[in-house]
Structure 1
Amino acid sequence: MSDAAARVADSAGNWVDSRAPLWARPYLRLSRLDRPIGSWLLLLPCWWSAALAAGVANDLSRLPLTIVLFFIGAFAMRGAGCTWNDITDRDLDARVERTRSRPIPAGQATVAQAFVFLVAQALVGLVVLLQFNRFAIATGIASLIVVAVYPFMKRITNWPQVVLGLAFSWGALMGFAVVLGRVDAAALALYAGSIAWVIGYDTIYAHQDTEDDALIGIKSTALLFGERTRSALAIFYGLAVVLIGVALHLAGARWPAWIGLAAFTTHLAWQVARIQIGDSRLCLRLFKSNRDAGLLLFAGLLASALLQAAGGS
């Protein structure tokens, strides 16, 4: 099989396809380093939580290192999660147009090779986790239960996006666990808000596959909501904004955090206004744009933490 034919359908033209060594490409595709948006979306709640907790602590001394460690850990664990997903979903992926070119169904990697690569990525994540306190280590290990069961949820419930939200939002707890050694009410509110955000953006993502999913019996909120998707997005995104606002209030965040939340809200409102569920390219574009929305909020939270540490109002 030529490498051009081996490219994953919705990721052609990236650095993996053009510059990575041929032997490494299947593994980079398994970890989704050809499509890093998912790693960013896993990372952002970690960064939100770390910045918010640093503001509560009035101490930014460890925040730069925490931000770097979360970056490495998020990319490693998202890669491990995607590899696990591809192992469990290999038969389903072969039946969906967008995913049949993934490494395992396309014959670029065996299940055994993928499993070894999964272990290697998980070990990188473990090394990162061991840099934190005991409470944070235990909190991080607890997330593995949700990660392990997620791939099976699409077979049994119309709400697999909720389980994805539980997994992808775990970082909202981790920042508090790392910085403060506890999970308090602000962290729980941030976690709940992030879950609502994940349900919204992953519903947009799932609209790329609704026809194939309906044919092979895969369930999703995209199929559940159908033509009501815009209204559902407004509800879940609105809930995300309210709950994150509660987290900011409980954490005593300063005015830059509220500006960041306002920018985040504006971006989500733009997505709701633009969504056209029959346009797969637009759905992918809107889904990817959530990285920018999350970074806007993070910028506000970081500025707020800086102001709190400096004793400003």
Structure 2
Amino acid sequence: MSVRLKDYATLLRLDRPIGALLLLWPTYWALWLAAEGLPSLVNLIIFTLGVFLMRAAGCAINDFADRDIDRHVKRTKDRPLTSGRVHPREAVALFVGLALLAFVLVVVFTNRLTLYLSFGGLLLAFIYPFMKRYTHLPQLFLGAAFSWAIPMAWAAETGEVSQLAWLLFTANLLWTVAYDTLYAMVDRDDDLKIGVKSTAILFGDGDRAIIAMLQALVVLVLILAGRQAELGSFYYLGVAAMASLFVYQQHLARFRSREGCFQAFLNNNWAGLAVFIGLLVDTLL
């Protein structure tokens, strides 16, 4: 791989799939629940590809927005855009190109409602990176962006967006705010110095307690969704596994160290997978 291609891959976080996986599991929750079992192969392919395309696009526009900020943050100072290895206009071009590819998938293979909803997803993906300059709640905007695939997937599978879909949306939004606060805790010292806002700064010493409350709400809303969908024991075992992992994440972040908070953030991949496995087994049996 050439140096330039490697820089592009790093910009798009192709070497770090955690963000795409955190998008993928809730999208699969929606597809499987909307289909009451196995979703259509076309929708499964479209939304799997769409998740990876839009996550990569989001990384490109995020680094464009943060190109002056990232050089002051220990974790991000060597990113391709910040270090000058990739030009800002290249990042914008990648965002536009990847977003257009995802949009074409929606236009060609889904229905009108999903198409209309896609404009909301694109808007959220674009504005989220700039929110940390104006509000201490950028994680809330990320939560909406990361959850928008849920009503889109539901609409693609059923032609409507039901109350159950919005319950999943709510659960995922709360979950995203919780795990992205853990992520923001990694950079909190740097962010305080440069004036960047986040929920980690807003919550202060109450950060772990508020994250725990958010995680408890995630579990509660997922239980409500399971009851509404009349799901069985395997789904609830998956939710219980997520709850257990939330407890483990609190243990990892107990000292608020950079490494501990980052490991707690990464652990959320397994929490999302646990719910999906429980849902998958429950709908197949």
Pair in the same fold by TM > 0.5: yes
Q: Does the aligned pair in 2 maintain the 1:207–1:277 contact within 8 Å?
A: no
Could you say what secondary structure the match of 1:105 adopts? helix
Which residue of structure 2 lines up, in the alignment, with residue 15 of structure 1? none
Q: How does 1:78-93 map to 2 (within 5 A)?
A: 78-93=55-70
Residues 221-240 of structure 1 aligned to structure 2 (within 5 Å): 221-240=199-218
Alignment partner of 1:152 out of 96, 111, 130: 130
1:292 to 267, 270, 274: 270
* Mapping of residues 135-174 of structure 1, within 5 Å: 135-174=113-152
Q: Does 1:26 align with 2:7?
A: yes
Within the alignment, does 1:111 sit opposite 2:92 as a pair?
no
Match of 2:35 among 33, 54, 61: 54
Q: 1:277: how far off? A: 4.8
Q: Measure how far apart 1:296 and its partner are.
A: 0.7
Displacement after TM superposition at 1:34 (Å):
1.6
Is the contact between residue 252 and residue 263 of structure 2 (CA under 8 Å) also seen in structure 1? no
Larger mean Cα displacement after TM superposition, 170-179 or 290-299? 170-179
User: What does 1:126-275 align with in structure 2 at a 5 Å threshold?
Assistant: 126-130=103-107, 131-275=109-253
Structure 1 residues 61 and 46 mapped into 2: Cα distance closer, same or farther (>3 Å)? closer
Q: Quick one: distance in 2 between partners of 1:297 and 1:80?
A: 26
Q: Secondary structure at the match of 1:94?
A: helix
Shifted more, 203-212 versus 134-143: the winner is 134-143
C-alpha distance in 1, partners of 2:101/2:64?
19
- Residues 185 and 250, structure 1, Cα contact 8 Å, conserved in 2: no
Output one character per residue of 1:47-66: Cα deviation in whole Å (capped at 9) or x when no partner: 111111111xxx6361x443
Deviation, 1:124, is 2.2
SS in 1 for 2:14: coil
Deviations 1:189-243 (A, max 9, x none): 1101111100110011011111110011111111122322221111000011111
RMSD: 1.5
Aligned to 2:16: 35
1: CA distance, partners of 2:168 / 2:255: 28
Note the residue ranges of structure 1 that are not aligned, 5 or more in a row. 1-19, 308-313
State the alpha-carbon separation in 1 of the partners of residues 150 and 94 from structure 2: 27
SS at match of 2:80: coil
Q: State the SS of the aligned residue for 2:68.
A: helix
Query: Using the alignment, how far apart are the partners of 1:124 and 1:150 within structure 2?
Result: 20
Q: Distance in 2 between matches of 1:212 and 1:74?
A: 30
Q: What TM-score, normalized by structure 2, do the two folds share? A: 0.94
Which stretch has the larger CA shift, 24-33 or 113-122? 113-122
Please give the secondary structure, in 1, of the residue aligned with 2:193. helix
Paired residue total: 284
Cα 1:142/1:114, change in 2 over 3 Å: same
CA displacement 1:112-152 (0-9 Å, x = unmatched): 22222222211221232232122112212221222221112
Partner of 1:282: 260
Equivalence for 1:122: 99
Tell me the CA shift for residue 248 of structure 1. Answer: 1.7
Distance in 2 between residues matched to 1:136 and 1:252, nearest whole Å: 26
Contact 1:84/1:115 (8 A) holds in 2 = yes
Q: Relative to 1, partners in 2 of residues 1:265 and 1:82: Cα closer, same or farther, differing over 3 Å?
A: same
Please report how far the alpha carbon of residue 72 of structure 1 lies from its aligned counterpart in structure 2 after TM superposition. 1.2
CA shift, 1:81, in A, is 0.9
Taking structure 1 as reference, are residues 277 and 81 closer, same or farther at Cα in structure 2, changes over 3 Å only?
farther
Distance 2:223 2:88 in 1: 44
- The separation in 2 between residues aligned to 1:97 and 1:241, in whole angstroms, is 34
* TM-score calculated relative to the size of structure 1: 0.86
Deviation at 1:305, TM superposition (A): 2.1
Q: 1:273 to 1:282 in 2, by over 3 A?
A: closer
- In structure 2, the residue corresponding to 1:276 is in which secondary structure? coil
CA distance in 2 between counterparts of 1:61 and 1:184 reads 16
Q: Which runs of 4+ in 1 moved over 6 A?
A: none
What secondary structure sits across from 2:69 in the alignment?
helix
